[in-house]
Amino acid sequence: MTTVTTSADELRRRMVEQLIHDGALRSREWRAAFEAVPRELFVPSFTTRTASEPVTYREGDPGYLEAVYANSSLNTQYDEHGTATSSSSQPAMMALMVEALAPASDTLPVLDLGTGPGYNAALLSHRYGSQRVVTRDVDPALVATAADHLAAAGYAPTLTVGDGAEGCPEHAPYGALIATYGIGRIPDAWRVQVARGGNIVANIGNGLISLTLGDHGLATGRFLPTIAAFMTARATPGNAPAPARTYAGKLANADGDMHEIELPVALDEEMPRFLGALSQPDVVELSLIVEERKVYGLVHPDSESWARITPRGDGTARLDRGGPRDLWTERAPLLRGWNKAGKPSADAYSLTVHPDGRHELTLGDARRWALPA
């Protein structure tokens, strides 16, 4: 039997064609970057999901190169609880995000937050030149490994270690900033360090936002149409947020007040999750089966507030809740507004971050919601 192997160059060419076909890659410049950077140099070993099972690949394993170029996120590090703490993000998401970058000038550096294995830093270095790229990760071990990967690929951006919430003041101002880990609110430092006219491209909640800097740190922009959630921010390397499943048992059995509610929307749709995460960045959302019924859960771990919503299928639901915060009542107005507006997609919404850090969500000209801090 003959085994046909496909070269990395050919697999990369096919991935690029797919990204173009899917509309993720649009410009000549970014196409050239994706064609030039060998992803395999950044992920010598990783775990990925093929069908339902996670599979670990190492360089040289059968199927390794095919998995590298499968347009999937590739997990490269886990903590002691089995939570993934770093990955090479899905190429389609990276393409959408880098295509949205619009630096304020041709000379200012671009800040890449969440270096991970360094693939995105390599793409940026190809596009803008290594001397214009500053990349930062909270985890020193990841930055050291990324430096080796980048050197092997022929790129030498500036690598730094620290919490991206502080930006990277040493090399500011930046023409643009991209962050490939999930956040709940735009840190003040980002607006301070990006030059007027430049932009911030980031994953906030379950959305991707491109915010253009105006005067005095005012930042405004629309969400991209794609729903996406990256790994969430860690303030220190040993501090990954607990995954949602951690709360499942407690939520399923919790005893509290019982209420009857009208459900403005089906809670398992993408947009209710997108809006819910924006209105409650500190709340964990999960779905589970309790006594053979699908149930939605909201948990605010700090105040031990929780809500368990059991839909009846007729637009009503039973709400059980406990703790000082009424998590359902907090999120319901945004969901009603979305329903009333005819269920638009994420790119119908804009975000404004005011000079004092207040976040405001808008839909069209008339609907505005102040998002809590």
Ligand X SMILES: C[S@@+](CC[C@H](N)C(=O)[O-])C[C@H]1O[C@@H](n2cnc3c(N)ncnc32)[C@H](O)[C@@H]1O
Closest approach of ligand X to the CB of residue 284, in Å: 17
- Cα 172 to Cα 97, 103, 108, 215, 244, distances in angstroms: 21, 13, 8, 17, 36
Which C-beta is closer to ligand X: that of 66 or that of 163?
163
CB closer to ligand X, 117 vs 311: 117
CB of 134 to ligand X, least distance (A): 12
* Backbone angles phi and psi of 223, in degrees to 5: -75, 150
Cβ 212 to ligand X, closest distance in Å? 22
48 touches ligand X by CB under 6 A: no
DSSP H or E segment with residue 34: helix 28-36
Which amino acid is residue 362, in one-letter code? T
Among 138, 153, 200, 211, binds ligand X (CB under 6 A): 138
Joined tokens for residue 110: 């671009």
Q: Pick between residue 89 and residue 305 the one whose CB is nearest to ligand X.
A: 89
Report the candidate in 342, 340, 330, 336 with the shortest Cα–Cα distance to residue 371. Answer: 330
Cα gap 152→49, rounded to integer Å = 27
Q: Is 230 in the site for ligand X (CB under 6 A)?
A: yes
Q: Is 231 a binder of ligand X (CB under 6 A)?
A: yes
Q: Is 89 a catalytic residue?
A: yes
What is the rounded distance in angstroms from the CA atom of residue 364 to the CA atom of residue 247?
Answer: 36
Q: Which residues within the stretch 173-192 sit at the binding site for ligand X (CB under 6 A)?
A: 180-181
> In the complex, what is the shortest distance from the CB of residue 70 to ligand X, in angstroms, rounded to a whole number?
14
Q: Which two tokens stand for residue 259?
A: 């209420």
Rank residues 140 and 315 by Cβ distance to ligand X and give the closer one: 140
Could you tell me which residues come within 8 angstroms of residue 60 by beta carbon, excluding any fewer than 6 positions away? none
State the Cα–Cα distance between residues 150 and 320, nearest whole angstrom. Answer: 51
C-alpha 122/C-alpha 135 separation (Å) is 10
The answer to whether the CB of 100 falls within 8 A of the CB of 208 is yes
Nearer to ligand X, 190 or 274 (CB): 190
Q: Which of 222, 234, 273, 331 binds ligand X (CB under 6 A)?
A: 234
Q: Hey, what are 10's tokens?
A: 């050919």
Tell me the three state secondary structure of residue 67: helix
Q: Rounded to the nearest whole angstrom, what is the least distance from the CB of residue 90 to ligand X in the complex?
A: 9
Q: How far is the CB of 42 from ligand X (least distance, A)?
A: 7
Q: Which helix (H) or strand (E) holds 284?
A: strand 284-290
Query: Exactly one of 72, 89, 125, 210 is catalytic; which is it?
Result: 89
Cβ nearer to ligand X, comparing 72 with 89: 89
**Residue 163 binds ligand X (CB under 6 A):** yes
- Show the site string, 79-118: x = touches ligand X by CB under 6 A, - = not: ------xxxxx-----------------------xx-xxx
Is 139 a binding residue for ligand X by CB under 6 A? The answer is yes
Which active-site residues does the annotation give? Answer: 89
Q: Where along the sequence are the contacts to ligand X (CB under 6 A)?
A: 85-89, 113-114, 116-120, 136-139, 142, 163-165, 180-181, 230-231, 233-235
